[in-house]
Amino acid sequence: MSKDGTIGFYPNLKINSEHIDYTLQESINKGTRDAFASVINNIKGFGKIFRGEVSLDSLSGPIGIAQIFGTEWNWYRFWLITAILSMWLAFLNFLPIPALDGGHVMFLMFEIVSGRKPSDKFLQYAQTVGIVLLLGLMVFVIFNDIFKMVF
């Protein structure tokens, strides 16, 4: 057990909150830059998981997100985590997984290229597979969070 009372390995997330005043235009530019940097960093992390450079154990669900937030209310951290999660969910939504918007785009692109629509039965099976994949991922990350807490 470490001196701060935690057991196991957790990322050392230190969010520096330095107050900087920006003009409206500077804040729009900075916000846009930071939003895209967040997505790019998450894509790189996603790639590291698929290449095996990072363990699947590093994935976290709602419990891990709550632990990142901490026990003390902090508006800056709240909005930062909310923004990062929003950008990450926007990216995930565009992945070509049936049941997500990216899956719908994938089927529309197939229809444009091939000139024919996939059968309704195929679309139904694809949506079912997509939902099962998403539910499986949710169960995995929640189990992973609980496992990290217990062990």
Other CB atoms within a 10 A radius of the CB of residue 149 amount to 13
Interatomic CA distance for residues 124 and 104, integer angstroms: 12
pTM, two decimals, is 0.70
- The pLDDT assigned to 122 comes to 95
Q: Which residues of the chain have pLDDT under 70?
A: 1-17
**Could you tell me if 39 and 47 are in contact, meaning their C-beta atoms sit under 8 angstroms apart?**
no
| Burial group, residue 53, by CB count within 10 angstroms (0-12, 13-18, 19+) | exposed
**Total residues found in the chain within this entry:** 151
